Amino acid sequence: MRLRRTDPHTLAGAYALDALGAADRENFERHLLGCEACRAEAAGLRDAAGWLAEPAAAVPPARLRAQVLAEAARARQQPPPVRGTARVRRSWHGIGWRAPRLAVAMAGAGMLVALALGTLLLSTQHQLRVQEAHSSQIAAIMNAPDADIMTVQARTHGSATVVMSHAAHALVLTTARLPALPSTECYQVWLMGTHRTRSAGRLPPPKQGMTPPMIVAGLAAGDQMGVTVEPTGGASSPSAPPVLMLALPAG
């Protein structure tokens, strides 16, 4: 809990030394996904840490070589990662964020978790059917051949991950670790076009820090997606600067 209020950048050294406990490590790796500079720093520090092994070098028992080579000859190798159906862009210009390959895997996993949570929390059959329809829409967007995945840091804290299909004019939005709001306020999602701004609805309440996937449909060329803090009932137009903003790439 304390970590969440700590500046995660300072953990780069401890991370590179494998000196984070499991929970701290997981939090930091999530932070890395949205912070390219941090990934670069962590890689550099990890490389330096790796050299610390040199003075420790010691000759292993001679039998180990034959054992390891024999084991390897019997062990199946993992296939290389293959790009899935989601098309991944390595970078976009003009907004200063990237969609690293790692993020795809992590965001995908995150969404599955969110989906699972969402599904578990539903009890009645009716709700389940609604949820199934919702899930299949989500799956359709996430598996669209032209799906793009993007992660953007919020100005405050936390991040949003978006999977967008141009062909479907829709995106799936999840967020992680946005600051909790008092009951009098909510997060509202907007599509901000060149001519007008439309509300895309309120973010669902977070479960364990993550909001379940939300579908935002009716995207138009040139739209940006923004999230603002509004009174609980929602607002008809954004009343405050967005806490996060994402220019949606043109198809």
How far is the C-alpha of 106 from the C-alpha of 112, rounded, in Å? 10
What is the helix (H) or strand (E) element at residue 193, kind and residue range? none
* Cβ proximity of 111 and 211 under 8 Å: no
Nearer to other proteins, 38 or 162 (CB): 38
* Cβ proximity of 189 and 227 under 8 Å: yes
Q: Which of 1, 5, 37, 71 binds other proteins (CB under 8 A)?
A: 71
Give the interface segment with other proteins, choosing from 43-51, 140-148, 159-167, 203-211 (CB under 8 A): 43-51
> What x/- string results for residues 168 through 197 when contact with other proteins is judged by CB under 8 A?
------------------------------
Nearer to other proteins, 49 or 235 (CB): 49
Q: Which of 1, 5, 37, 54 binds other proteins (CB under 8 A)?
A: 54
Nearest distance from residue 155's CB to other proteins, in Å?
Answer: 24
Residue 88 touches other proteins, criterion: CB under 8 A: no
Nearer to other proteins, 6 or 232 (CB): 6
Nearer to other proteins, 19 or 117 (CB): 19
Q: Hey, what are 56's tokens?
A: 């420790």
**Opening angle at CA 79, ends 75 and 83, nearest 5:** 165
Nearer to other proteins, 63 or 126 (CB): 63
Sequence-ordered list of residues with C-beta below 8 angstroms from that of 103, at least 6 positions apart, any chain: 33, 34, 149, 151, 161
Give the interface segment with other proteins, choosing from 56-64, 142-150, 162-170, 212-220 (CB under 8 A): 56-64
If you search the block for the tokens 């008092």, which residue do you land on? 182
Ranges within 91-110 binding other proteins (CB under 8 A): 101-102
If you search the block for the tokens 């995908």, which residue do you land on? 108
* Residue type for position 166: H
Nearer to other proteins, 41 or 135 (CB): 41
How far is the C-alpha of 153 from the C-alpha of 101, rounded, in Å? 17
* Residue 127 Cα distances to 131, 200, 201, 216, 221, angstroms: 6, 22, 20, 20, 34
Q: What is the DSSP letter of 143?
A: T
- C-alpha 231 chain-centroid distance: 26
Nearer to other proteins, 102 or 117 (CB): 102
Residue 250 touches other proteins, criterion: CB under 8 A: no
Give the interface segment with other proteins, choosing from 63-71, 106-114, 197-205, 235-243 (CB under 8 A): 63-71
Q: Which residues bind other proteins (CB under 8 A)?
A: 10-14, 16-21, 24, 39, 43-62, 64-65, 67-69, 71-73, 75-81, 101-102
